[in-house]
């Protein structure tokens, strides 16, 4: 059962609307999103890139740039080591192409998901040393790689870390002590001593910030770094970062540029996806384009995705885009099978009382366990870990897995509490990755559940409603008014409204997969609106048929068909 919350933030919304030139409803939504001061409101509503901060404010950024500048001038070999997901690939692209523009002798290495695992490992360090690499520059990884960086130091190499993940820590009494790796510079906005105003950047955005400062120090025009803004925005959406503060500005400006991108690989992928000439929204990146880049690192090697972005010839870009789209279709099929198997295990009476689900799929491709965990989390409203067979970079058999969490459960901190169970682990509050010895699987499940303080109420899905809005106030004008709040995404969700005592009439199921439900909604004032629901349409239709009047939550939206534009309400919840 869902728990509905009406967000209550006091204020004179009419006065606020007049002050900022927006509607009272938009003013209320803005207040609901935590925008309370005039400075925050002006920044939220500002147009252009004025809301982007200077990367020089990040701890160790100047130090990192000084090291890189010296190495470039000394003609030393630099290797960028990234990650195989969308953030790691785009980070690697930004740094490799960006460094080469400075004249740097730079190459790259993206770890193989199965052979190497996440981030730096001993083999990658030794390979770099054997290849005559002087300096390793990490992106989207490195913050948890202290032993590997110690090895690099002992071999006479220099390491610069750029990352955005949570900082490992240990407790000394009641004091939390961060465990920074022994690198020449560690650029990560999550450092407790980092004065950077915004902490929730993705790895590609951190890499871009460092590159901007490097260009300034080397006398390269700032405009030369602008081509990477759209890529950092792409990664911000693809890595599911909150679209608040600086991220919202970054994504808004990046999407404008992405539509007319000069990057041949991105252009080919956009065209092949049927999005040429369209206004791109976070949805297109998160659910159409982004998964294609991710698919390469999931099913094979992320090198295909990086080659796409680095392509300078149209035919190469097109060929790589075709390959990535085909990989993504294969990934979808594997995911559907995995979700079905995981759902059966999660429903097993033996683990019905578990507040934290630990699911072992013995024949699952390890690259999709995170996607499966996310879907099981949505279905069961519990923190979920999905594991499958894998191996460490040295060939040692292990179980590898990914976790996806709920609002009430800080996954990374809970894992810190049982860190002795893991061979490797890392992550943040809502997601994590791990490797454990096979014989410790049951211990892992048991200790997580013994330690958790999650209550039944914590496990209830939460629906956060912006305001109650009778149908007579829903209009195309309102839809237009709310555009000022875009782009929507995590942390800046699409405004959600509610209406009570609603009758749903003539509800019919459509779609090849029977996942669309359409009909008419009549509220207590007798106002009628067209409605559509996307999801398990047959189940929802039966649920509605068995009830009389219901309460609904909805997003007002524009429906364009046959040259006509009408209002439709997208139903999100019914009870």
Per-residue pLDDT reduced to its tens digit, 226-238:
999 999 999 999 9
pLDDT at 369 over 90: yes
Q: Is 377 exposed, middle or buried (0-12, 13-18, 19+ CB in 10 A)?
A: buried
Give 391's contacts (C-beta < 8 A, 6+ positions apart).
114, 397, 398
92 φ/ψ angles, rounded to the nearest 5 degrees: -60, -45
pLDDT at 116: 82
Supply the pLDDT for residue 421. 98
The CATH classification of domain 347-451, taken from the options 3.40.50.720, 3.10.310.30, 3.40.50.300, 3.40.30.10: 3.10.310.30
Burial grade of 53 (CB within 10 A; 0-12, 13-18, 19 or more): middle
- Indicate if the pLDDT at residue 340 is higher than 90: yes
Mean pLDDT computed over 287-315:
95
Residue 515 to residues 336, 521, 535, 543, 571, Cα–Cα distance (Å)? 15, 19, 5, 15, 13
Spatial separation of the C-alpha atoms in residues 518 and 537, rounded to whole Å: 9
pLDDT above 90: percentage of residues in the chain: 87
Between vectors from CA 269 to CA 119 and to CA 246, what angle results, nearest 5°? 60
Domain range annotation of the chain: 55-258, 347-451, 462-574
Q: What is the chain's mean pLDDT, rounded?
A: 95
What 3-state DSSP class applies to 119? coil
**pTM exceeds 0.75:** yes
pLDDT of residue 305 exceeding 80, the answer is yes
What is d(CA 387, CA 462) in angstroms, rounded to the nearest whole number?
27
- The pLDDT value given to residue 215: 98
CB count within 10 Å of CB 483 equals 10
If you average pLDDT over residues 421-439, what whole number do you get?
92
Phi, psi torsion values for 214, nearest 5 degrees = -60, -45
Name the fold adopted by 462-574: OB fold (Dihydrolipoamide Acetyltransferase, E2P) (2.40.50)
Average pLDDT over residues 94-104: 98
pLDDT category at 548 given cuts 50, 70, 90 is: confident
Cβ atoms within 10 Å, residue 424: 17
CA pair distance 237, 290, nearest whole angstrom:
8
In degrees, rounded to 5, the angle at the alpha carbon of residue 490 between the alpha carbons of residues 169 and 56 is 55
Q: Which CATH number fits domain 55-258: 2.60.120.200, 1.10.760.10, 3.40.50.300, 3.90.1640.30?
A: 3.90.1640.30
Q: pLDDT tier at 563 (50, 70, 90 boundaries)? A: confident
Q: How many residues are listed for the chain in this entry?
A: 575
Q: How many CA atoms lie within 13 A of 42 on its CB side?
A: 4
**36 pLDDT higher than 90:** no
* Predicted pLDDT of residue 268: 98
Residue 312 — very low, low, confident or very high, per pLDDT cuts 50/70/90? very high
Give residue 49's pLDDT band: very low, low, confident or very high (50, 70, 90): confident
Range with the poorest average pLDDT among 56-60, 92-96, 509-513: 509-513
How far apart CA 184 and CA 143 sit, in angstroms, is: 12
Q: What is the rounded average pLDDT of the residues 343-358?
A: 93
């Amino acid at each position: 059962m869902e728990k509905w919350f009406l967000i209550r933030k006091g204020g004179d919304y009419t006065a606020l609307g007049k002050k900022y030139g927006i509607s009272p409803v938009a003013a209320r939504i803005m207040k609901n999103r935590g925008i309370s001061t005039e400075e925050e409101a002006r920044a939220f509503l500002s147009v252009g890139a004025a809301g982007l901060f200077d990367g020089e404010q990040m701890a160790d950024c100047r130090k990192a740039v000084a090291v890189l500048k010296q190495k470039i001038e000394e003609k030393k070999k630099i290797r960028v080591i990234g990650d195989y997901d969308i953030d790691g690939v785009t980070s690697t692209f930004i740094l490799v192409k960006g460094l080469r523009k400075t004249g740097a002798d730079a190459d790259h290495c993206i770890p193989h998901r199965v052979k190497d695992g996440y981030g730096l490992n001993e083999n990658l360090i030794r390979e770099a040393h054997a290849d005559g690499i002087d300096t390793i520059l990490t992106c989207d990884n490195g913050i948890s790689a202290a032993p590997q960086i110690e090895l690099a130091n002992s071999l006479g190499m220099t390491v610069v870390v750029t990352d955005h993940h949570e900082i490992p820590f240990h407790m000394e009494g009641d004091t939390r002590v961060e465990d920074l790796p022994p690198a020449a510079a560690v650029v990560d906005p999550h450092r407790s001593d980092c004065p950077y105003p915004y902490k929730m950047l993705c790895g590609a955005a951190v890499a871009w910030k460092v590159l901007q400062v490097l260009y300034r120090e080397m006398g390269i025009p700032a405009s030369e770094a602008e081509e990477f803004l759209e890529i950092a925005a792409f990664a911000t959406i693809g890595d599911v970062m909150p679209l608040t503060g600086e991220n919202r500005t970054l994504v808004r400006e990046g999407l404008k540029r992405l539509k007319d991108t000069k990057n041949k690989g991105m252009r080919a992928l956009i065209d092949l996806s049927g999005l040429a000439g369209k206004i791109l929204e976070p949805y297109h990146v998160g659910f159409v384009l982004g998964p294609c880049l991710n698919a390469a690192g999931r099913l094979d090697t992320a090198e295909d995705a990086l080659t796409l972005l680095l392509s300078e010839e149209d035919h190469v870009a097109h060929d790589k885009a075709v390959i990535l789209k085909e990989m993504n279709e294969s990934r979808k099929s594997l995911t559907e099978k995995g979700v079905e198997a995981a759902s059966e295990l999660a429903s097993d009476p033996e683990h019905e009382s578990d507040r934290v689900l630990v699911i072992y799929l013995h024949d699952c491709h390890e690259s999709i366990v995170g996607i499966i965990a996310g879907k099981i989390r949505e279905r069961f409203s519990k923190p979920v870990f999905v594991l499958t067979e894998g191996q460490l970079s040295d060939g040692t058999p292990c179980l590898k897995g990914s976790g996806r969490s709920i609002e009430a459960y800080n996954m990374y901190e809970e894992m810190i509490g049982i860190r002795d169970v893991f061979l490797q682990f890392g992550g943040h509050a809502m997601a994590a990755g791990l490797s454990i010895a096979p014989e410790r699987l049951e211990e892992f499940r048991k200790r997580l559940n013994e330690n958790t303080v999650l209550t039944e109420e914590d496990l209830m899905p939460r629906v956060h409603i912006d305001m109650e809005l009778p149908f007579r106030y829903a209009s195309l004008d309102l839809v237009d008014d709310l555009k000022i709040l875009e782009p929507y995404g995590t942390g800046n969700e699409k405004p959600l409204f509610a209406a009570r005592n609603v009758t749903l009439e003539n509800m019919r199921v459509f779609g090849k997969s029977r996942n669309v439900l359409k009909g008419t909604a009549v509220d207590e004032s007798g106002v009628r609106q067209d409605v559509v629901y996307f999801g398990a349409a047959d189940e929802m239709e039966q649920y509605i048929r068995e009830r009389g009047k219901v309460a609904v939550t909805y997003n007002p939206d524009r429906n364009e068909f046959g040259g006509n534009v009408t209002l439709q309400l997208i139903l999100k919840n019914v009870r």
